[in-house]
Chains A and B, each alone.
Chain A
């Protein structure tokens, strides 16, 4: 069964450093999402992406964040200058017509900013 994959599974970085979180969505999906979950809190929407552009972004997704689909298979989330409060689990998801737009989630990347 096709699945969404994410790398790395765990990333530790120092405050102020740039990080790139990578996702490979399911191959025939066209809609892509990033969500995050701070420890002990609910999952929050960050950004949605379709047709090579952002469809919607939340208040959390400020100028420090960017997304890209560089090569037609990967979908990346970049945080330019990490803050302590960026420490969270980041989930990528994808959906498409073939799944009736049901979202399939990756296993997550745990980002720890020290």
Chain B
């Protein structure tokens, strides 16, 4: 069983729609990352959070440590939001902060 599960795997939306991507994890963590990856491209960190909620522009990330669950929301989605969104968890501390990744959610926003 994967330590990090994302849903849905694929998501198609119309421009302007509210988007939610979910991430569940099965291990204790020290932090959770939401990352964005464009096709064939690099990885950009959107959020790192260990509790509560963070907001950046149209993006909102929440985490419930007790439930081992996080959500990424995109308000007023736009075609440029089309990308793969990846949840990754950080378990370690000390000298190792390696990340364990989910498989990603492919988001397509149509105009």
CA–CA, A91 to B44, complex, Å? 11
Query: Judging by beta carbons under 8 Å apart, are B95 and A43 in contact?
Result: no
The count of residues in chain B whose C-beta lies closer than 8 Å to any C-beta of chain A is: 24
Query: Judging by beta carbons under 8 Å apart, are B43 and A102 in contact?
Result: no
Minimal Cβ-Cβ distance residue in A for B30: A101
Contact pattern, A 83-109, Cβ under 8 Å of B = 1, otherwise 0: 000000001010100001111111110
Selected interface stretch from A18-26, A47-55, A65-73: A47-55
Q: Is A33 an interface residue (CB 8 A)?
A: yes
Selected interface stretch from B17-25, B62-70, B72-80, B101-109: B101-109
Q: Is B88 an interface residue (CB 8 A)?
A: yes
Query: Judging by beta carbons under 8 Å apart, are B98 and A33 in contact?
Result: yes
Q: Is B41 an interface residue (CB 8 A)?
A: yes
Smallest CB-CB A-B distances: 8 pairs: A107-B42, A55-B96, A105-B43, A50-B95, A102-B48, A43-B101, A55-B95, A42-B103
Interface residues of B (CB under 8 A from A): 31, 33, 35, 41-45, 48, 86, 88, 90, 92, 94-104
Interface residues of A (CB under 8 A from B): 31, 33, 35, 41-45, 48, 50-51, 55-56, 91, 93, 95, 100-108
